[in-house]
Structure 1
Amino acid sequence: RVRAGIGYVPQEHSVFARLSVRDNLAVGSLASKKADAVDQVLTIFPKLGQRLDQPAGTLSGGERKMLAIGRAMLGDPKLLLLDEPTEGVWIGVIEEITERLIELAKTIAVIIVEQHLDLALRVADYAYVLDRGRVALQGEAGEVRGNPELMRYLAP
C-alpha cells in the first residue's frame, strides 16, 4: 500500500503500543524519502513532540489517532484512508484532528469512513451516506448536509 501511495489509518490498533512515539514514527519513516518527514509530522501534530519518549499505548485516544495519522503521512501518500478517525477521541481533540485533515485534504486525496457527521462533511468535498451497506445519499458535502433526507438516516 505504501509503495502504491496509499496511507491507511485503521479504526483500532493503529499504533504499536509498546513502542515509544519516537519509535512508531521511526517505523513509519522507513518508507519516507524526505529527511525531514518526522519533523513535518511533529509540525502538524505538535502534541506528539511532547510525548516522543512515551509508550504509544499510554497516549490518550486522540493522541494515538494523531500518531497513527502522522505515521501514515510519513509514507508521503497520494491517498489517505481513515477508518473512524474520531472513535474513542475526546471532543476537544476531534476539532484539532478535523483541522489537520482539512489541511491535508488540500494536498492529497482523503477518504474517511466516519460517523461524526460534522467532521466528515467539513473535510469532504463529496459525501456518501450509507444505510445498511447501500448508498442512500450522495453529492457535494454541502448538498448532503442540507438534504432533508439526511436526518432520516441519522435518526432512524
Structure 2
Amino acid sequence: MSLLEVEDVQTYYGESHILEGVSLSVDDGEVVALLGRNGVGKTTTMRTILQLTPPREGSVRFKGEELVGKRTNEVADLGLGWIPEDRRIFSALTVEENIRAAVPSEDGIQDALDLSYETFPILEERSTQDAGTLSGGQQQMLAIARGLVGDNEMLLVDEPSEGLAPQIVQDVGEALDTVSEQVPMLLVEQNLGLALDLADRFYVIDHGQVVDGGSVDEVSAESERLREYLSA
C-alpha cells in the first residue's frame, strides 16, 4: 500500500471539468514530480488531495485512510502538509515566530528551531528579522522549514522555484533534497531539470489527465517524451 493513493478523481470548478480521472501514488521515502504546462490541473490535483477542492468522484487515501469527505484541517491533522506556490508566510512576524507558529506542541518548539536552523543555516542568521523583509529564496526556505517542522508525514510542494533567480533556485533545490531525506514529497515544479534531479518518479498531466509517468531514470530534461507535454 502506498502512502498516498489518488484513484480516478473527477474534480470541477463549478461546471468546468478540471481533473478527468487522475490517478497517482507516492510511496514512503519517495519524491514524486507532477509535471505539465500551466493550467492543466497540477495545483488542482494538490487541492483535491487536501480537500480544498473535493472531487465529485474518485478516492484519495493517505496512510490507507479515505480523505474524501474530510475537512482540510482533518487532512492536515493526519500529517499531510502543504507548501503552496505563494508561500503564505506571516510577513509581519520574525523568522523564529513563523517557525514557532507551525509547531503543533509547545514542547516541540526547540527541536523544531534546531531542525530548521540545521537544515537552513541562513534562517538562524535571520531569526529575528521580519519574514516579509527576506529575499524570495529565503522566504521559500522559511516556507519549507514550516512544512518540515509541522509534524508532517508527507509534503505537497507547489512550484518552489517560481520567480527565483537561478542561483537561488539551486539553493532551494539543495534544501528540498535535504528535506526529502526526512519526509516524502509530491512536487509540482515547472523547472524540469530541478524536478528530475529531486524526484524518484514522475507523472505528466495534460488537460486534466495523467498521460505519462515512470522512473526519472527513463527520461532527461531534453527528452522529447516530456517536451511535447511541457512546451507552450
Give the TM-score, by structure 1 length: 0.89
Which residue in the other structure is 1:150 paired with? 226
Are 1:17 and 2:102 counterparts?
no
- In structure 2, C-alpha distance between the alignment counterparts of 1:62 and 1:132, rounded to whole Å: 31
Say if 1:142 and 1:17 are closer, same or farther in 2 by CA, change over 3 A: same
> Between Structure 1 and Structure 2, which shows a larger proportion of strand residues?
2
Deviates more, 1:32-41 or 1:54-63: 32-41
Count of aligned pairs = 156
Residue 15 of structure 1: CA displacement?
0.3
Residue 11 of structure 1: CA displacement?
0.7
- In structure 1, C-alpha distance between the alignment counterparts of 2:191 and 2:144, rounded to whole Å: 17
Percent identity over the alignment? Answer: 37
1:7–1:75 CA contact under 8 A, matched in 2:
yes
Aligned residue type for 2:82: Y
Residue 109 of structure 1: CA displacement?
1.2
Q: Map Cα deviations across residues 27-81 of structure 1 (whole Å, 9 max, x no partner).
A: 0123476342211111101111111121111111111110011011112311011
**RMSD between aligned residues:** 1.9
2:87–2:140 CA contact under 8 A, matched in 1:
no
Q: How does 1:116-131 map to 2 (within 5 A)?
A: 116-131=191-206
- In structure 2, C-alpha distance between the alignment counterparts of 1:43 and 1:58, rounded to whole Å: 21
The match for 1:53 among 114, 122, 128 is: 128
Please list every run of 5 or more consecutive structure 2 residues that lacks an aligned counterpart in the other structure.
1-74
Which residue in the other structure is 1:107 paired with? 182
Give the TM-score, by structure 2 length: 0.62
Which residue in the other structure is 1:73 paired with? 148
Say if 1:127 and 1:70 are closer, same or farther in 2 by CA, change over 3 A: same
2:119–2:178 CA contact under 8 A, matched in 1:
no
Residue 147 of structure 1: CA displacement?
4.4
Say if 1:90 and 1:32 are closer, same or farther in 2 by CA, change over 3 A: farther
- In structure 1, C-alpha distance between the alignment counterparts of 2:76 and 2:106, rounded to whole Å: 9
Say if 1:33 and 1:129 are closer, same or farther in 2 by CA, change over 3 A: farther
Higher alpha-carbon Rg? 2
Which of 1 and 2 has higher RCO (CA within 8 Å, sep 6+)?
A: 2
Please list every run of 5 or more consecutive structure 1 residues that lacks an aligned counterpart in the other structure.
none
Aligned residue type for 1:68: A
Aligned residue type for 1:8: W
Which residue in the other structure is 2:111 paired with? 36
